[in-house]
Structures are given as structure tokens and as C-alpha cells.
Amino acid sequence: MAEFTLKIDGMHCGSCVRRVTQALSSVEGVAVNEVSVGSAQFTSSLEPPPVDLAVAALAKAGFAAQLEP
């Protein structure tokens, strides 16, 4: 299982953390590990990993995200 960290812009509070968690949880194959203001960690065993789908789900929720190297 691979782990990924996303840097997320536009998060300011606990409500943002909840919205990001819900958005990531809605992506098939994503298991949310931790969400804090400004970042999120998740794991996936899918190939290819659904990173693009996770970023798209966050964009739909109003947050810009990018994969941390």
C-alpha cells in the first residue's frame, strides 16, 4: 500500500479539515490517514494510485491541492 501526502491551499479551520476529509473519503480506493490544516495523508493499494482523482475531488470541494514530493 502506497502513502501519499497532499499540500492543500485554502484550509483555515476545523470545518475545512472536515470538508477535505469528506472529499477524500469519497474517492474510491483512498483510505484517509490524517488531515490537518494545509495537508492530508492517505494510502491506496490501487494501480495506478488515484492521486489525480483525489486532487480533483478536493478542487470540487474548493481546495487547490498538489502532491508533495
Assign 39 to helix, strand or coil: strand
* Spans of all domains in the chain: 2-67
What pTM was computed for the model?
0.93
Q: What is the CATH number of domain 2-67?
A: 3.30.70.100
The percentage of the chain sitting over the pLDDT mark of 90, rounded to a whole number, equals 97
Q: By the 8 A CB rule, do 26 and 16 touch?
A: no
Chain-centroid distance, C-alpha 29: 12
Distance CA 5, CA 27 (A): 15
Assign 40 to helix, strand or coil: strand
Of the pLDDT bands very low, low, confident and very high (cuts 50, 70, 90), residue 27 is very high
Task: Please state whether the peptide bond connecting residue 48 to the residue before it is cis, i.e. omega within 30 degrees of 0.
Answer: yes
Predicted confidence (pLDDT) per residue in 30-51, tens digit: 999 999 999 999 999 999 999 9
User: For residue 31, what are the β-bridge partners?
Assistant: 43
- pLDDT at residue 59 is higher than 90: yes
